[in-house]
């Protein structure tokens, strides 16, 4: 009975988190189920030193929903795959003009653009992170976002 009471108490939070990630009505039940599974995991792994239980539950449920969205998105295509195998909507990438490259670059945030340019010059994540005073994980995330955005623009 105590577990059901606890779940009932956190159900509004779980519904709120699920609505953030699932806008389609037919997906909401699946999203809520994933959020509840995140809740179960959070209850099992919660450590008082991590902060509030509410925040931890919301974070774990959100991560579970993000993972679900990634799985549903299907196989990822890396930018290099797009350039090497299929070309781009701009024609041969080697022949793309400056206006085409500028049009692609404006889709990136400043951080994504700088990280991607340095990566193309062959700099490692560690070097980029140190130069930009960012964590290695932040650089990796910026590169992933840049590749995803450019991959969409080129396909």
Greater confidence, 146 or 138?
138
Rounded to whole angstroms, the Cα distance separating 153 from 107 reads 9
pLDDT confidence bin for 130, thresholds 50/70/90? very high
Domain 79-154 is in which class? mainly alpha
C-beta separation of 39 from 10 below 8 A: yes
* CATH number for the domain running over 2-72: 1.10.1740
C-beta separation of 155 from 77 below 8 A: yes
At residue 84, the pLDDT reads 40
C-beta separation of 45 from 63 below 8 A: no
At residue 35, the pLDDT reads 86
At residue 43, the pLDDT reads 84
Compute the mean pLDDT over every residue in the chain, rounded to the nearest whole number.
74
Greater confidence, 122 or 50?
122
At residue 72, the pLDDT reads 66
Residue range 50-101, pLDDT digits in tens: 788 888 888 888 888 888 777 766 544 444 444 443 344 444 444 444 445 5
Rounded to whole angstroms, the Cα distance separating 117 from 84 reads 18
At residue 105, the pLDDT reads 55
pLDDT confidence bin for 26, thresholds 50/70/90? low
88: helix, coil or strand? strand
Least confident of 4-8, 66-70, 143-147: 66-70
Cα–Cα distance list, 82 to 28, 38, 74, 76 (Å): 33, 35, 16, 11
Greater confidence, 106 or 139?
139
pTM recorded for the entire structure: 0.46
**Residue-range domain boundaries for the chain:** 2-72, 79-154
How much of the chain exceeds pLDDT 90, in percent?
6
Residues 6+ apart with CB under 8 A from 78: 147, 151
C-beta separation of 38 from 68 below 8 A: no
């Amino acid at each position: 009975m105590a577990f059901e009471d606890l779940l009932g108490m956190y159900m509004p939070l779980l519904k709120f988190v699920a609505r953030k990630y699932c806008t389609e009505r037919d997906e909401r039940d699946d999203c809520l189920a994933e959020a509840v599974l995140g809740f179960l995991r959070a209850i099992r792994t919660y450590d008082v030193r991590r902060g509030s239980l509410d925040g931890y539950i919301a974070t774990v449920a959100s991560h579970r929903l993000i993972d679900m969205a990634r799985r549903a998105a299907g196989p990822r295509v890396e930018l290099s795959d797009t350039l090497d195998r299929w070309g781009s909507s701009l024609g041969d990438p080697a022949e793309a003009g400056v206006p085409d490259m500028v049009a692609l670059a404006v889709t990136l945030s400043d951080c994504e653009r700088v990280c991607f340019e340095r990566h193309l010059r062959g700099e490692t994540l560690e070097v980029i992170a140190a130069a930009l005073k960012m964590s290695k994980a932040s650089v990796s995330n910026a590169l992933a976002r840049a590749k995803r955005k450019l991959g969409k623009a080129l396909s």
